[in-house]
Amino acid sequence: MKTMNIKHVIFPVILSFLTFGTTSCGGDDGDTTRPTINVIAPEEDATLLIGDEDGVLFKAEFSDDTALKSYKLEIHNATNGHTHGAPKLQENPVYFTFNKSYELGGVRNAKVEHRDIVIPENATPGHYHLMVYVTDVAGNQTYMARDIELSHDSSVHEE
């Protein structure tokens, strides 16, 4: 009668454990889907009125497959953008900036509308960027950028 060598038994057992014991199930991957953004206002290339005490209308819809955590609005000057011709330089520019975060409370869909963005009278007119970031509870983030123009001329004010 033949006896089995211990190596012939232990090696397949260890190999089976390493193959099947360390493989995770497909459901353990977690949330990797980024949330979505739909900015309704202001529109791309909108001209926003400097000094308007009512503020700029911001209107957007956010959604996620699991749960939304927060969104952030940022506005910064875009003077380093590509232009043709001689730029109009102001002696002491006061570039407007806005940076504010808002909680969304774990909902899957959110519609927001407010006028928190108030552009002061002394802000330098010109080309700016509106950045909108949204983050879900898993930490996935999406952002979008929109070109906007700041102006003192109320005849070109858009909502």
For the segment 60-91, what is each residue's pLDDT rounded down to a tens digit? 999 999 999 999 999 999 976 544 444 555 67
How many domains, the chain?
A: 1
Q: How far apart are the first and last CA of the chain?
A: 92
Q: Is residue 145 one of the residues assigned to a domain? A: yes
Look at 98 and 154; give whichever has higher pLDDT.
98
pTM as predicted: 0.75
Which CATH number goes with the domain that contains 59? Answer: 2.60.40.2550
Identify whether the C-beta of residue 144 lies closer than 8 Å to the C-beta of residue 134: no
DSSP 3-state of 28: helix
Q: Which domain holds residue 73?
A: 33-81+91-156
